[in-house]
Chains A and B, each alone.
Chain A
Amino acid sequence: MNWITTAWSMIAGAMLAIAGVYLVVWLQQKESRAYLMFVLLAVSTAGIAGTELWMMHSSTITEFGTAGRWFHLPVATAIFAFVGLVYYRLDANRVWLALTVCGLRAVTLIINFLQDPNINYVEITRLDRVTLLGESISMVDGVPNPWMLVAQLGLLLLIIYVLDAATTAWRRDRDGFTLALGIAFGVLVVGGSVQATLGFWEVVQIPVFVTPFFLGVSIVMSVDLGRGILRASILDSALKSTNVELRESEQHLSLAAEAAHAGLFSVDPRTDRIWATAKTRQLLALESAGELYWKGVEKRIHADDLSRLLQLVDDTLRSGENVQTDFRIMLPDGSVRWLSVLGSWRSSGEARQGMLTGVLRDITASRDKDNETAQQKTQIAHLSRVATLSELSSSLAHEINQPLGIILSNAEAAAVLLAREPPDLDELREIVADIISADRRAAGVISRMRALLRREKPKLQETSLNDSINDALSLLNGEFLIHNVSMDVILKSDLPSVQADNILLVQVILNLITNACDAVADNPPGQRVVRISTEANGEEVQAKISDNGSGLPQNPAQVFDPFFTTKASGLGMGLAICRSIIDAHNGRIWADSDEAGETTFHLSLPIILETA
């Protein structure tokens, strides 16, 4: 059995087959140059095996020389490929060394083809047939070619290059496999070089075969690359199952969203392209399929809410914080719905790069209910205010009318008695005394009533006038909208605090706003404007509540008198109470109007002085 021939042929065949496989792999992943290098290495190894077989089977000295010359071609390409593999696989960083190795090998190859018979020998003197592994093969004796030193210098540099790359990779990655790879490369390249060199210089009597070493390199490499492919296929199947899970969780999410009547969406702010679930499209009354862009959604958003919404989105893209707001949409049939949106910004690092994802819900029904509740609350607040006032004024009326009745009846009786001749002076004296005492009693009632009003000592604490206004507005929530009153609120930020009882202050502001809304009620819709503003003014903070409504009487101060009213059902106590509250706060309240017919109620409270 010709073992050598069989083995070498099988090696060549196997190498070509592997080269074919990896060629296909490389063609699919062209960026992975390691595969290309490996293909080259495998083909070269097959070439080496082939040319070695040719040499072993040469029958003449000339043929052996020719075969030896061609042998150097696959060796050179194998070394190029090996250098490349080390470069790509171990991330070798000494490029100059790699280029030097390749350069020396190229020079070796050129010299090889210029020499006769080849770079190994100046002259082959004898060809012997020896028996190796039961097979007769050719071996030669001759004069060694000194140019061979160039090739061997190249081999030495190759060893240095590989060992350097292996140690660097190991130090960098601390990866067991990289270490194994480096060691394998090192052992094989050192072994191959030493064997070839020793054999060449006939230090030891062995035939020079490099095929096994390149076979070793190829096997190590194929294990390494195969491992990569294996890992890729594991990743691929993991990805597939992740995809399945992802799809499942997406389905679950959609199901949950569906159950919550919520629509999901995401927007890419660079392209304005929107991904949206069917529910989202349904909520926005959009086509159920097809590409969706911001433009298509924008047309649905209520004109009054659009700029606010855009501003919020802009803020979110900048700050990265979640955004939650309610806004209105206008459907093609003209109906208005309230939607609530909760969005979050997933940035990919750079500005405006990422996805704005969110949930959309129709809250029209609950909003209506909220409005109703708020309205009811307002009504209750209003009713209880009226009730308190009417109770107060009715008990006031009773307390006052009693002594007034006594005075009147006594006086009228006196008038009759005085007309008599002679008048009953004793009786008249008594009557006058009773009148005086009743009068005193009436005065007492008034002062008691004042004391009663004053008894509610305001609980003064540090309060923000802006907060009080916002409290009042939230209590009024919706009421002015219903009456088509447009409310402009300009609250100056960083307003100094005041000492006030917030509840009382809110009552005053509520009263002023309600009055303003009532005053504009007779204006045509669209011309009902109430403006609220605050500012700091020296040692005071001021609130102004203006309206373009029915105006003030000739003497504006009159409106603060008790029982002064312009309303059919008014008691005329509101502003009187407002003034007593503001007085108790050491503040001022007054009203004026300008030429344009705008009425303004001013509220002024002293700023808390910083105590050192």
Chain B
Amino acid sequence: MSNHSIVYLLDDEPEMLKALSRVLNAHGLQTKAFLSAREFLAHDQSSQPACLVLDLAMPELDGLEVQRRLSHDDVALPIVFLTGHGDIPSSVRAMKAGAEDFLTKPVDAADLLRAVCAAIRQSEEQQEAVIEINEHRAKLAQLTPRQREVLEYVIAGKMNKNIAAELGTGEQNIKVHRRRLIRKMGVKSLAELVRLAERLGVEPAF
């Protein structure tokens, strides 16, 4: 686990926030505590790996609502729920909506640490994936419009001569485009190119 990760704590009780911060800090985790959902949602998300320890029952916006809003804003933040009484319908809803874990108070430090670490690892993986995809996006952006067009035909499984006919040019021409775009995208095989294009959301031209 990288030591530049951060654990956000959201609970309407200052004493609880202080206690959770202490126990996580004591185990070497960086924390940032918020007393209200509004305060948390308003703060700028850092780019470092992070997770949220979220109290289920809070006045105004409760934990589930916070989870819904984060997901609505496409914020990929693993959530560990913490609740005074584990009522089954709430926990089911939370887990279905993608919660990392669901813990009941009083929570053992060991359980809390395990859940938080898992959530942070999840966050790191998500961030790594984001970094990787961003690199690929940058490569995709380097393609000329013609190369991009050819890519769409290639991943649709068309032969060079068919592509040439579709685009009204020579087969030789297409072969050059194809070679160049494969080099630019940094893939070794056609299969890899198809997979990457799919991840980047390139639509095949059928």
Contacts and interface: CB of A to CB of B under 8 A. Distances in A.
B19 A410 contact: yes
Given A398-B85, A402-B13, A402-B16, A410 B105 contact: no
Interface string A413-450: 11011000000000100010010011000000000000
B16 A412 contact: no
A493 B23 CA distance: 67
Interface in B79-115: 82, 84-85, 87, 104-109, 112
A146 interface: no
B33 interface: no
B22 A405 contact: no
B108 A412 contact: yes
Residue among A403, A405, A431 facing the most chain B CB atoms (10 A cut-off): A405
Interface residues of A, number: 24
B172 interface: no
Interface residues of B, number: 23
A410 B106 contact: no
A402 B23 contact: no
A223 interface: no
Given A394-B85, A404-B105, A416 B18 contact: no
A438 B20 CA distance: 13
Given A394-B85, A401-B85, A412 B109 contact: yes
Contacts, number: 77
Interface string A8-44: 0000000000000000000000000000000000000
Contacts of B18: 410, 434
B57 interface: yes
B71 interface: no
Contacts of B166: none
B88 to A, nearest CB: 11
B144 interface: no
A208 interface: no
Interface in A60-115: none
Given A404-B105, A409-B109, A397 B85 contact: yes
A434 B105 CA distance: 17
B25 interface: yes
Contact of B107 (A397, A408, A417): A408
A417 B26 contact: yes
A402 B108 contact: no
Nearest to A403: B15
B57 A410 contact: no
Given A410-B19, A438-B15, A405 B26 contact: no
Interface string B106-139: 1111001000000000000000000000000000
Interface of B: 13, 15-16, 18-20, 22-23, 25-27, 57, 82, 84-85, 87, 104-109, 112
Interface of A: 394, 397-399, 401-410, 412-414, 416-417, 427, 431, 434, 437-438
